[in-house]
Amino acid sequence: MNGPRSRKTGRTVKTGLLLVTFGFVVALVAFALSGFDQLGAIAAEQEVAADAAAASPYGPAPKLTAADYPSIAGINSRVAVWIFAQLHLWFAAFVLAVPIFVFIIEAIGMRTRDKRYDDMAYEFIKVSITAYSLTAVLGGALLFSLILFYPHLFTYLSTIFKESMIYYALLFFAESAALYIYYYGWHWLQGGFKKWVHLTLGLVLNAVGTTLMLLANSWLTFMMSPAGVDAAGVFSGDAWAAIHNFLWNPINIHRFVANIAYGGSIVGAYAAFKFLTATTKQERAHYDWMGYNANFIAICALLPLPFAGYYLAAEIYAYSQQMGITLMGGIFAWLFIIQAVLIGTLFLSANYYLWCGMGRSDGAKRYTKYIKYIAIVLVGAFLVWFTPHTLVLTNEELKALGGPYHKYLGPLGIMPAKNTAVNVMIIFTALSFMFYRRANKIATVSWVNAGNAIQVALYTAGIANILFLGIYHGYFTNTVYKVAASIPQVLTTLIVIVGSITLDSFIYRGGKQVGPLHWGRIPGRAQYALFLLAVSFTWLMGLMGYIRSGIRQHWHVVDIMRDASPDAFTPTLGYAANVVSVAAIIFMAMVIFVFWIAQVSGNKTLPAGYWKE
């Protein structure tokens, strides 16, 4: 590197860092303000309330009857709201997630000065820009259907959240502005200082987007764990208390992580389709690479997701035991079997994609012999995870077993076995990934054998610890340890993953490449694994939306505002699955439209003799 260039780079880096810091501060302030302003508004309101003395400006939650719900012949109002909400959520999750990893990829591109990253980041954001307007349209449709079919619920919620709804609208403008400048200014804001400005814009975009999600989350968590209101539903005037309700943060974390995984999977499906329809070798290589990166993002977010889910479930239990039992026992117990099938599908297809991807490297042969063992463990762990607590038995089997309980399969139906299985699955997925990373590399450090031995020891000890915790604490101690054992299990998993990746990065520091990676050398089947990932993810989100909403049972706002509509009953799993499936198909059709629109702008038709020469 020559002198002047590096000096210039140094200056740019400094300015850039400053800008990013500034952007971050702006974002933080914006976020804090959204809280403080409410505090101000609240203070003012409290004064008003004090003036009005006994007469509270807020009434109790209305007590409704079936007549309070407008209906339109031929339209089931709950299903309409359900589908609009679900579609809105899918698109929102996608458009909020994409800028997060576009930001990261752009930063990686700036760091490595590899233009491919920048092009890929641009292509990702291009995909999400059409989806963005659809998100807004669907949000409007949801709002409209809510006002139309559930006017009293909407009125009640909007009296409590009126300030945050205004901020929501304002932030939406900010989000649009940031997104459009970020997207349309991509090629303009290139190089040196301008690039840093662009990255900062990306950060602001993410900050605004995340704040939007947090606000929207507060409304739905308020319905699950109302706060800031008394037992009759009279609002205290403290909007922050209503927003910062008990389940707000658990949902925030779960959704944030899941959105990234979801966004990755959708972009992966996009890349997979482009790969399958690519005509040139370069194109195939490009979209293979893009698909790999999208899958990588999805897996990275997928690994911690079960833990975020357990945290959310534990918090629901802590908030209300009644709600917790509704969630985990009784009718919803079977939902978790469906969930197990879906998450198993996610893990299996993600692994399959990695294994197929090993064909890109000529050095992979050294590791492929282990794949079948990984597959055996993954499938085995999955079968344990999937085994239901209540077995479906024919009468003959019932007689043969002497009861509905199975001596050997029964113990697999309870939580400790499932925690153990999911931790093992995560560790082995990480192992798959490690083999993939190693496939094209040869270590040159002198202590490579010792290093490998430590890796083996790390994995062995980790798995042994997980099994011990699961089996000993799960079956030979009382409940408090059963539940508590899941925490050291998770920690073990995290330590093994982080430890092995760190160690590997040292082992392969300065290592040789076996040969160039053959991007594009991957079977078409692997692309279907990416489709499977995206479809399963979409459907799973819909299913979990049903249970999240379903545990409120016949309440609009739990214990405060009762759902008196004819649709207050909890639907069966099959019914919910059908609604989710229909919504997923609609979503798919819309996504195809979005992708088609994204590429149609590149098409040019030259009509001969149409225009005056």
Partner 1 sequence: MRQFLSVIVFSLLTIGFFAGYSNFGIPQIEPAPPPKEEKLDLGSMTMDQFIAVGEKLFSGKGTCTLCHNNLGRAPLLDTIGEVAQQRLKDPRYKGEATNIEEYLIESLVKPSAFVVAGFGKKGTNDAESPMPDVSGGSIRLDEAEITAVVAYLQDSSGAEVTVEIPKDLGKKKEGGEEADVAEAEPREAISDPEKLIAMFTCDACHMINGVGGEIGPDLSKIGALRNRDYLRRSILDPNADIAEGFEPDQMPEGMGEQLYVSELEVLVSFLAGLK
Partner 2 sequence: MKIPRLLQAVLVLAGVYYGFIIVFDILLDAVIPSSLLAMYMFFVVAGVFMVFTYDEDQTRELVAPIKALVEDPSKRIWRNIVFAVVPLVAGAGAYMQMQPSFEAPLELRTIHPAPPTTAKIFGKRVNLLKLENPYRKFEKEDPEKFRELVEEGAIVYIQNCQYCHGDKLDGKGPYAAGLNPTPLNFQDVGTIAQLQESYLFWRIATGGPGLPKEAAPWISSMPVWQDFLKEDEIWKVILYLYDYTGHHPRSWESE
Distance CA 74, CA 86 (A): 20
Least distance (Å) between residue 426 CB and partner 2: 17
Give whichever of 375 and 582 is closer to partner 2, judged by the CB atom.
375
- Tell which one of 403, 554, 593, 599 touches partner 1 (CB under 8 A): 554
Distance CA 539, CA 141 (A): 21
The piece of 72-80, 235-243, 431-439, 578-586 that touches partner 1 (CB under 8 A) is 578-586
Q: Are 421 and 381 in contact (CB under 8 A)?
A: yes
Distance CA 335, CA 332 (A): 5
Distance CA 228, CA 219 (A): 12
Query: Using the rule CB under 8 A, is 408 a contact of partner 2?
Result: yes
Write each residue from 266 to 285 as x if it is in contact with partner 1 (CB under 8 A), else as -, in one continuous string: -------x--xx--------
Least distance (Å) between residue 69 CB and partner 1: 14
Distance CA 80, CA 149 (A): 9
The single-letter DSSP state of residue 602 is: T
The piece of 13-21, 27-35, 307-315, 323-331 that touches partner 2 (CB under 8 A) is 323-331
For the record, the structure tokens of 607 come out as: 């009509």
E strand or H helix at 556, and its extent?
strand 555-557
Least distance (Å) between residue 574 CB and partner 1: 4
- Tell which one of 176, 528, 559, 597 touches partner 1 (CB under 8 A): 528
CB crowding 478-491: b at 16 or more within 10 Å, else e: eeeebbebbeebbe
Distance CA 297, CA 268 (A): 9
Give whichever of 275 and 386 is closer to partner 2, judged by the CB atom.
386
Instruction: Note the helical H segments in 474-523.
Output: 474-476, 479-484, 486-507
Distance CA 450, CA 256 (A): 39
Residue recorded with tokens 């490009």:
286
Residue recorded with tokens 């004064």:
47
- Tell which one of 22, 447, 569, 593 touches partner 1 (CB under 8 A): 569
The piece of 140-148, 204-212, 394-402, 600-608 that touches partner 2 (CB under 8 A) is 394-402
Give whichever of 372 and 512 is closer to partner 2, judged by the CB atom.
372
Distance CA 577, CA 534 (A): 17
The piece of 7-15, 45-53, 274-282, 328-336 that touches partner 2 (CB under 8 A) is 328-336
Query: Using the rule CB under 8 A, is 322 a contact of partner 1?
Result: no
387 binds, among partner 1, partner 2, none (CB under 5 to 8 A by kind): partner 2
- Tell which one of 257, 266, 297, 342 touches partner 1 (CB under 8 A): 342
- Tell which one of 311, 317, 334, 481 touches partner 1 (CB under 8 A): 334
Least distance (Å) between residue 312 CB and partner 1: 22
Distance CA 508, CA 524 (A): 31
Write each residue from 343 to 362 as x if it is in contact with partner 2 (CB under 8 A), else as -, in one continuous string: -x---x--xx--xx-xx---
Percentages helix, strand, coil for the chain (3-state, rounded to 5) are 75, 0, 20
Q: Are 94 and 266 in contact (CB under 8 A)?
A: yes
Which residues bind to partner 2, rule: CB under 8 A? 321-322, 325-326, 329-331, 333, 341, 344, 348, 351-352, 355-356, 358-359, 368, 371-372, 375-376, 378-379, 382-383, 386-411, 413-414, 475, 477-481, 523, 525-526
Which residues bind to partner 1, rule: CB under 8 A? 273, 276-277, 330-331, 334, 337-338, 341-342, 388, 392, 528, 531-532, 535-536, 539, 543, 553-554, 562-564, 568-574, 576-578, 580-581, 584-585, 588
